[in-house]
Structures are given as C-alpha cells and as structure tokens.
Chains A and B, each alone.
Chain A
Amino acid sequence: MNAASQNHAARLREISRLVDDRPSERIFQVDRRIFSDPAVFDAELRHIFEATWNFIGLESQVARPNDFVTTHIGRHPILVMRSADGKVGAFLNTCRHRGTVVCPFKQGRQKFHVCRYHGWAYDSSGRNISVTEEASGQYPPSFSNQNHDLLPVARLGSYRGFLFASLSADVPQLEEFLGDTRAFLDLIIDQSDSGEVEFVPGASTYTFDANWKLQFENGLDYYHFATTHSSYVDILKKRNATAGPDAGFTVEPGGEQEGQGSFSFDYGHAVNWSIKRTQLYGRPLGMDPARLDAVRQRVGSTRAKWMLRQRNLTIFPNLQVIDILSAQVRTWRPLAPDKTEMVSHCLAPVGESAAARTLRIRNYEDFFNASGLASSDDNVMYEFCQTGYDATSAAPTQGYLRGVADIGHGESAHTRELGITPSEWSFGPTSFGGETNFHPGYREWHRLLQHAAGETA
C-alpha cells in the first residue's frame, strides 16, 4: 500500500467514525457533517453507491426484445437493454471510443445504439458491431485485440422482476443481499394473480436541495407523519367523512393489537409498518371484495392481512418501496452533498381492475412527489434540516434513539407470521415512530466505508 492509498484509507476510517454506534451503551449518534461534507459525499458515491447492489428498474420496463431504459448507479450512466434474443443486460452508457453517452434517451426500443460522435455502433446485447472506418484507421495490432463492446456492470440480478446491479463484483449474491426484504417485495408482487408488477406510465423526477440521507431516513420515519403531514391528515379526515365503499377501506381482523413496528435486516435494509383500527386511507386491493377474497384464497389470510397494512420498505442504498394508499417505487441519486434527484414510479400489480388502477393512480398523485399533498412537505422539511445541519459546531442530533430502550431480538408474533428473521425488530403503540430502523442503513454505510479502507468490519 503506497502513501496515497494509506492516506485515503485513513480518511475513510475517519469518515466512518462519524457514525457513533455503541449498542451495548445504547448510544447511536450521527455527526451533522455526514450530511454536508463534500469528502463524505465523494466517499459515499465511490464506496457505497458504486460498490454495492443498486435497484436499476423493473424487468417489465424492458419487456420486449430491444427495449431499453437509462438510469444511473452513483455517478455512472447506465443503459439497461433487452437483447434481440430476450436477455436483459445492463451496461455503462458510455462509448468505448471517446466516452460519449451512447443512448441519451429515457426509454424506447432500438436494435442498435449508434454513438453520435464518430458512429461506433452497438447492438442491444451491448456488442460492438461497427468501428467506423476501422480498415482505414491505421490502428496498431493491439487495437483489434481489444474488446470494443459496451462495458457490462459487474453484477446483474433480478428478484421476481426487480432488477439490481452492482459496479463492484465484490458483493454478496443478490438473494443474500436482499435477505428477508424479499418477503416484503412478495407482499406487493403477489397482489397480482400472475405474480407480475409494472410501473404505471408517467414517471416523476424531482429534486430537493438536501442530502440523500434525509430521504433515506424519512421513508423509515413514522414519527414525523402527524406533525409534518397534519395539513394532509386534515384533508383525509374531511374526505373520509363521506367516503363510500369505492375508497377501498379495509378492517383489521379482530384481536389484532394496534401498533407501529419495524424490522431491521442485514446490508442496510429495513421496513416500518403499522396495524391500525382506524385507517386514514383505503387502497386499491380493498375496493373490490371479490378480488380481495380471491387474493386471500391464493396467498392465505395471514399474508393477505399484511398486504393491507402500510409498509415502507427501504433497500439500501437507493430504493424505497411504499405500499400504502397506492404503491410507489422511488429511487434517489445524490447530485451533491445538498442536492438529490428523485425518480418516482407508481407500482401496480398486473391484472388489477380498471377501477382499482384508477384509484391507485389518483391516490399516488394525491400523496407522492413534489406535486403531492404529503411528499412535498417532506421535501421542504429535508431542506429545513439541511439548513439546520450547517450548525456544524452543534452537538450531534438526537434523532436516532426512539425505540433504543426496547429493541427486539429473535422471534416475535409478527416475525413468525411473516416467516422472517430480522436482525432487530421494534413494536410500540401507533404513536411510537421508532428510529432504530435507521440504524441498519448507517451500519451498512459504516461497514462499506470500513471495507473500502481495507479493514474487516
């Protein structure tokens, strides 16, 4: 190891210590600098986003041969394509010749992608099919020995149509990485009789001027809901006074204890969920009793019960899947320490009724994104936090301790129902809003930085 890399490793270790995690002392603190320091931000892109599995889309976005979508992993532009013979591939969206972005479009269908700069061409399997005027190029022999194909990502995997990719090969198998989060993806996917989900056409992209981890935390945070979203709750309560059966309200089975809980998993993932007697909103699955019965027959009453509970799933580092009044898949792309781009899709089971689909869309528009009545408040709140984090000399924030006095380990009634073995769980009254489910993300953040520094975590 040379001096430069030793310095880099030392800096990464120093950054990783900004998360102060001492479970036996019941201390969990996050230094404010983690949200604003450019050195932290660079380390996160390189050693977290560009070093582990990222969600890059649904297989159904590239359903047919030669379909493509473009996205990002960290800073890297990515081109996802289905080849002419039906195989999904993910490639760095950069020409082998001079680095030009090969495909500048969001999505479409093309057999070939021709670089606009000098005309090098690639087919939908990423293979280079033309180096323009190669014969007259006076290339040295070494050139023809080089591979000119688009560079594939190091790892690509799919879990029931959810595509994940990693720029580093030094990652666990996808199944291991996802672990028990698969049970929560299943709870959405199995709402479809055919076991397929799709994005409803019409994605939203928006930005907020705050660090990406504000979104990561907020998606796991029920504590904020009553305060931040009180204006939205007022609207819902008013609407609910006159809501008919079409609103999709369902009831918990008798004997269920109301409450709010979370599960923490390895590799940074977590889910928060709630059991409520009085719902604030209905959901598409609840609006058609016959269809709900059919789903219940197919998946069993226990899993059907969980399908009707609100669940916010975070798959670290870039994905949240929210199944509440509608279903949302949202990903974030860090643009700067204080700027984040969000891409949001409405997620839907294939095969639901037209009425359920329309309710899903209306509910999604109502709640989510910069134009929604709830998420817009979150976006502004992130910016308020980012401004407050400029008080760098202030003590660490006190936002990671709700639930720390009573962290659950091993089995619970809820883990048994779901057949999962989370590393930790929490459960409290509906007003609980635990914060221990932020910990796994920060532990994975710490592990990846330590790993990059060459230490054993």
Chain B
Amino acid sequence: MKADLNGTFENPVHEKHTCFHCGEACKDEVILFDDHQFCCEGCSVVYDLLKENDLCGYYNIDGAQGISPDVSYFSGKYDYLDLPEITEKLLEFTDGKLSRVNLLVPKMHCSSCIWLLEQLHRLNPAIRSSVVNFPEKKVRITYDAQQIRLSQLAELITRIGYEPYISLNDVEGKQIKKWNRTRLYKIGISGFAFGNIMMLSFPEYFHLSESISDQSLGNLFSILNLALSLPVFFYCASDFFKSAWSALKGRYLNIDAPIALALLCVFLTSLYQIITQTGPGYFDSLAGAVFFMLIGRYFQDKTYAGISFDRDYKSYFPVAVTVLKDGAETRVPITELRSGDHMLVRNQELIPADAVLLSPRALIDYSFVSGEAEPIERKAGDTIYAGGKQTGLSVELKVLREVSQSYLTQLWNNDTFARDKENQNQTLAARINKYFSVIVLAIAVLTFLVWALVLKNTEVAFNAFTTSLLVACPCALLLSSTFTNGNLLSLFGKNRFYPKNAHAIERLSHIDTVVFDKTGTITQVNDAEVEFIGKPLTEDELVMIKTLAIQSSHPLSRMLVKKLDDTTASRRTLSHFQEMEGAGIKAFWGKTEVKLGSAKWVGSASLIEKTDNASHVYVAIDGNIRGYFMLKSKYRPELEKTVKVLQDKGFGTYLLSGDKPTDKSLLAPVFGNESHLLFDQKPEQKLHFIKNLQQAQQKNVLMIGDGLNDAGALRQSDVGLAVSDDINNFSPACDAIVEGNQLIRLPAFINLAKSGQKIIKLSFAISLLYNVFGLTFAISGKLSPVIAAILMPVSSITIVLFTTITSNLAARKWLKN
C-alpha cells in the first residue's frame, strides 16, 4: 500500500493479473471466462461477442489492446439518432435501402482497431462494409437501412468498445473533404503547368530564337505558356486573391496581399509582353511561385489535420435530451427544447439548459463550469444552470430558457469570443511583408520612371519594372515564415504541445506573464492525496470500503476507489445499498453495516467537521466510527519547478482559482507573493483579471486553463493554453493544447517560439540579400529572364533549407531530454 495511506496496513499479497481483452492490470476481482482473465464484465462481454463471431484474430495482431466499453452507456442512449432530422444530417448517402454514414471514433488507436472495425459485417450481416480512415479516426459504414437502424449501429460499435462521437457540429454538417481535394487539384494543376512552361521557356533562357523561323516557334511557345498559365492564375491562385481581397475589405493587409499584388503584376506584364510581342513574359516564375506556395501551405495544414480546433461549447453538450410528454419518454434534439418542457436528466448527463428542478433533490456537479470539485445539492424548485452534471438518480426538470439563451452561452457570447485575435495582432511576416511590398512597388515604379522619362528607353523601362517586381517576389519571405512555423508546429507536436497555428506560436514568443488556473491545471484531475486518520483498517475492512465506494458515482467515492488501487474489490453483493445524496452511502456486508460519508451521516454528532483544506470521508463499521479519509487535491509534481524557472526568466506568474482559498498557505511560497493568488473567481472575474493585466499593465498574457469555466479567460488572453490529458477531448477557445505531464516544458516551449521568430527574421535577412542583389541588376536593366528564373528557385530553396535546419537545431537545444 502507498505510503500516503500512512502505512496503516500491510501490502496485500495477491498475484497481478492482466486483462485478456484490454491488457490493463486487473484491479478488482478477476473474472475467469473461457480460460482467460478479464478485468471487468465489459471486457469479457466484448471477448464473448468477438469469439461468437469468430473474430478472435483480433487478439493475434501485434499490439492489440481492446477497449473496455464505457460504463456510463445506457440502452436508448442513441435512440435520438433515429429521429429523421438527425439521421438525415448524419448520413452521407441513402437510397432508402443502402445508407452510408461516416462516424468519428476517437478511441481507435492501433492496427487491430482497424481490423476489427473493418470486420463489422461479420458481427451483423446488415452491415455491408466498413472502411476505416485512421488519421481522421473515422469509420465509413455502409449498411442496409431496412435491417438495422442507425441507433442499433451506434450501439453495436459501442458494445465492442468503440463509442462513436456524435456532436452537434456533426449534426449541423460540415464538409472538409471537398476542401482537401480541391487543394490537391490545385497543386497538381499548378505543378503540371509549371513543368511544361519551364520546358517551353528553355529556348528563351538560352537565347535560341534568333532566326526568323525560330521566331514563329517562339511565338507559339509564348501562346502555349499563356494558355498553361491561365488555369494557374485563375484557379490555383484563387485562394490568394480571395484572402487578400477579404483582408482589404476589412481594411488591413494580410500576408496574401503582397503575393496577390505580385502575381497580378507579373501576370499583367507578361500578358502585355506577349500581346505586344516585346518579350516572352514570366509565366514560368508565376506558375513556379504558385506551385511552391501551395505545397508549403498544404504541408502546414496537414500537420494539423488530426486536431480540430473548431469545436465550441456545443461539442460538450449532449445532442439530445429525454423529454417527458404525457408520461412518455422521447428523445428530442436539444435545439428543439422549448421552455416549459419537462426533461429527464440521468446520472452523469449534462444539463443542457437552465431549468427548474421538479424532483425533490438533485446533486449537481458543476466542476465543468466553476471548477468546484464537490457536487452541490439542490432542492425542488431551485433553478439549475446549464452546464452542471447530475450525479446519482435521474431527475426531472422544467426548462426555463432555451439552449441558446442559457448561462453558458451567455458567457460564450461575451465580446471576447466575438473578437478574432489573429486580425488584431498581425504576424511578424505580415508586418514585414507590408513594408516590403510597399518598398518594392516604390522601387519598381521609380526604376520605371527613371528609365522611361530620364533615360528615354521604354523597352528597358518595362523590363526593369517587371524583373524588379519578380526578383523581389515576396515568396521567399512567405516561405520563410510558412516553413519555419510549419516545422515548429510539428516539432511542438512531437512533444505533445499543439499550438493552433502559426499566429499562436508568434504570440507565444511575446508572452511575459503566465496565469495558471487551479482545478485540473495545476492539480491533477481525479487524483488526490488520500490519508486515513484513525485506527488502522484491516485488509477485510478495506475491501468492504472499496466495494461500497465503487457503487457510488460521487467524485469523492471515485477518488477513494482510485486510491485503493491495490485493494481487491469483492464481487460479493452488498445488500441494502443506500445512497443519501449530499450525505453518504451505506450497505450491509453480510451482517456488517458499512457507512461512508459525512460526519453527520456516520452518526456522530460529537465529531466536529474539520475545516481545514480537505474533504473528509468518515468510515463507520457496525456503528463504530473508525476514522476518516482525508482527500486533498494533488498538485502536479513539476509545478513548483516550472513556476520557479518562469519566475527566474522574468515572467510574472499568477494563480486564478474558482475554488475556496484552502491551499493559500501552500501555494503562496510557490508563486512568491500572496497578491498573485486569487481565489473564489467566477468565470467573468477571471476574464476581467486577464483584461486588466493586458490593458492596465500592458502585459502579454498566457493563460493556462482546462475547460469551459475559464474559456472566457483563455479566449481573452494573448495565448490560451488548455491542459488536457486527452487531445481528442480538449477544451474549446484555446490557442494551444498541452498534455498535462508536458507542462513542465512550458519555459522551453516559449524559448523555442522565440527562437522561431529569430529564425524568421534571419531568413528574411537572407532573402533580402538576394533581393538587393537581384534588384541592383534588375534596376540597371541588365537582368535577363534566365537569371531571374534561376535566382528565384535558388533563393526559395536556400530559405527552406535554412529554416528547416535552424529550427531543428533550436528544438534540439530547448527540448532535449
């Protein structure tokens, strides 16, 4: 047993068993089934199901590890999928007989998952085929809609452990695939045009068209080049123009604006040259630039394809809720919920709308909204705000406000959420590019004017004008930030830190103040320091306590169960189990009565409820109070060191908490100053605190939080960092996600972001050197197309190599060990 249990009992000697299905150590009583050991009923049921259908090959695949099915599943959970309006939105295709649905299954994790999910037709013949897309964690199932309903399908894959994730976003329907394919078409077409234009420009590069017969051939080549560049200009490059135009309409210049301008100038001058037959144009450079830029962006986006940041609070809400109408239960989509409806909320279900409690008592877990760990008791007639989770028995509620008007969405609709950080703080690249494009344009125009008006040579004037625009084409500049940030994103990703995009990395490099949230951020979720105070308990008593605690879904019970890891819970049935919400639980173990709960519950008025910073669970066996468990939230072990490193580097550190100031004395030395610790903060107060830091003290704030309750603050901060131990299931409104145990590397991450900005500036300097070199020739009118054509890719390649190598070196420096 762990030392933090005061060493009150001996380490129980029992053999370690591993579950045949899920591969986890069996914590409780082992279930023997078909000569294999299982950790729980769920796992053995899945095994049975697979065996029945001759699918045990699953276990033969290397690294196979089954998933224990979700215990919170209840039959009828997916009934709402059969509602015509929801089915219609989810199905990709249907002809009344065959239907196809693409389900997101976040739990697939290995090759055996792929195998099993593609063998679904052996589990149910109504399923015609299923095809997995592993990177997207999706399975596309074609099934006979007349034989199996969508809800039964979802139930089937839930039963084998792969619960599909269905959110309102899916139901509202979004098509990403189309976009991805369009992008590939554009790359393919621009690559095709680029290669062929290069080939047709060879004679031009080497001055082959001197004779008259070659001249006509040269004309043909020019016309072919023009024809090939039309789809590049009008189709492949359309995104640059659209983005630049929408930025212009919003009255600012984005990174695409100078690119669009350069592309337009090059295209128009080339067109002019072809029509007047004064030159061959620069279609090769045009197609090449578009091709390389598209590739750069494709890889940048691909790095992040796996993570969807576009989820909002709606992804946390249930899609449907049970509504009682004339005594009958129906599942209704929450968007159809009207005030006055009576809804039934089961154990562990989220309350989707503000409502009045009709049942006599409810125990609401608001940890999702306020961060408070202990559930709050509510009585009939009380108003319950959306976002709480019911724990315990099902409760009936009367809806007060429709979903879009409730408390959570109000918080969400705060100004902060409407604001787009990206547009306000332009990136370094965009800022430099803005000046750059203005300067280049000025130089080009000046050159043109000098040649045309002073030196009276219009032909050279045009040549010098276009070559200077071309040589100075900002694509090397664009590439420098695209490739540096793209590479940094993947380097961060390897260390399980996932910034949302390049903008987030740049803002991260400017951070000077770090604000921590408490619950779930610096404390570990579902893990607490547990100490037993009182007369030592025997092994048998511990078994009783664990077996009893398992029955309850109260957070304290769950923590207790988790802490009693090494104790084997018995499957012996407890009789007369009783749970009094807000008080405790009791049951009979044979003839022994076991009670767990508050001091009052175990029946001792003489015991005073302690008021120190921990939760207490009293234990009474047969009416004898044996003592109490003290549960203290546990801080991430690396917290102190991380904060210290940050402070040494001159970062301001603050703590915001929605909890009571219980651990103030403990945390004060870590954060150095009591004034940097704020407790009892409501979500709005957190938001205002950040706003105040930013506006009154001109700080760049990094907010580290975990969930909805600090969503406003995350959004308001310059960089909102969400701590999550499961990246598929993270908080909305953040700019970056980090895995809990990687939080210690935060200073290193910030340093790497800073190095990234330096690398971008350096590569800007390199490409400026190229530009100055090329421009001097271009202005003097000496630059021939062949040198311009060679200079451009060479500069781009140098930039790509430089940024990739240096950013990898920087990452090795900061993220070593």
Physical interaction between A and B: no
Using CB atoms and an 8 Å cutoff, list the residues of chain B in contact with chain A.
none
Using CB atoms and an 8 Å cutoff, list the residues of chain A in contact with chain B.
none
